């Protein structure tokens, strides 16, 4: 089983719509969770950390469900500029010196 | 000023050659990383250094040798390049070695092996 799984998409969504992605992780000891965004031929950039109680940043809301081992990202009022690949990222190691484990990403296309 | 900078941005070379990629961060971070993103866009960690000391070494061929002369620099040397080494290599840094701290990425080095 892959460590971090995402639906690769693409998700084609009209501008202004709400879109949600899920991601599942395999290691129940995972402690830290993030959503990164990667534009075509660019580096990954942190979109937001994901906290146990859920958190919101403008049009973006992230949720964590530890019991089911999944993370979600909700984008409201989507903009053309939201078109990108969204990477679900998990610390599999459960703390301490470790790199991040990335999902393969969900490709989002916002259509005018 | 670029926070994490890598050079070169593009590297095209022949199989069997030896090449190096340099990375520097001006964020004052203690921890630096090398990632490989292959043609399927899968991003995977290769190495991590904390304050010049190696702390992560994933299953990477020993043709790849990282070097950290100081905590602001982490270079990657690759010997005897192979076709399968073609990928985008990203350097990243974080304040410390704890994974609850997000990482900042350089803009990548696109390596193509002919």
Write the pLDDT tens digit of every residue in B54-92. 887 777 899 999 999 999 999 999 999 999 999 999 999
Nearest by CB to B48, from A85, A87, A99: name it.
A99
SS3 B114: coil
> What is the C-alpha to C-alpha distance for residues B81 and B112, in angstroms, rounded to an integer?
10
CA–chain centroid gap for A18, Å, is 15
Asked if residues A9 and A110 have their Cβ atoms less than 8 Å apart, the reply is: no
Are A89 and A106 within 8 A, CB to CB?
no
- Tokens linked to A95: 């703390």
For the stretch B17-42, pLDDT in tens is 999 999 999 999 999 999 999 888 78
Nearest residue, CB atoms, A105 vs list B33, B41, B48 = B41
R_g (Cα) of chain B, nearest Å: 13
Is A95 within 8 Å of B40 when comparing Cβ atoms? no
Q: Is A69 helix (H, G, I), strand (E, B) or coil?
A: coil
Q: Which of B32, B35, B40, B43 to mutate to test the interface with A (most CBs of A within 10 A)?
A: B43
Q: In this structure, are strands B10-13 and B109-113 parallel, antiparallel, or unpaired?
A: parallel
- In this complex, which of B56, B100, B107 lies closest to A43 when CB atoms are compared? B107
Residue A14 has pLDDT above 70, yes or no: yes
User: Average per-residue pLDDT in chain A?
Assistant: 90
Q: H or E element: which one contains A14?
A: strand A11-14
Q: Please indicate whether, in this complex, the C-beta atoms of A97 and B50 are within 8 angstroms of each other.
A: yes
* Residue percentage of chain A with pLDDT more than 90: 71
Residues ≥6 apart with Cβ < 8 Å to B28:
none
């Amino acid at each position: 089983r892959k460590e971090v799984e995402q639906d690769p998409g693409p998700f084609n969504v009209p501008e202004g719509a709400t879109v949600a992605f899920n991601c599942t992780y395999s290691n129940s000891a995972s402690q830290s969770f993030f959503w990164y965004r990667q534009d075509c031929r660019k580096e990954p950039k942190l979109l937001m950390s994901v906290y146990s109680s859920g958190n919101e940043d403008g049009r973006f809301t992230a949720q964590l469900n530890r019991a089911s081992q999944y993370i979600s990202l909700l984008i409201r009022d989507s903009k053309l500029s939201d078109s990108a690949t969204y990477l679900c990222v998990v610390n599999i190691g459960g703390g301490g010196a470790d790199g991040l484990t990335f999902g393969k990403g969900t490709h989002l296309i916002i259509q005018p | 000023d670029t926070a994490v900078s890598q050079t070169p941005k593009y590297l095209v070379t022949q199989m069997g050659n030896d090449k190096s990629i340099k990375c520097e961060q001006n964020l004052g971070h203690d921890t630096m990383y090398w990632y490989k993103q292959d043609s399927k866009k899968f991003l995977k960690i290769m190495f991590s250094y904390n304050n010049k000391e190696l702390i992560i070494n994933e299953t990477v061929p020993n043709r790849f040798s990282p070097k950290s002369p100081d905590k602001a620099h982490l270079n990657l040397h690759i010997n005897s390049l192979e076709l399968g080494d073609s990928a985008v290599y990203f350097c990243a840094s974080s304040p410390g070695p704890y994974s609850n701290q997000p990482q900042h990425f350089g803009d990548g080095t696109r390596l193509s092996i002919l």
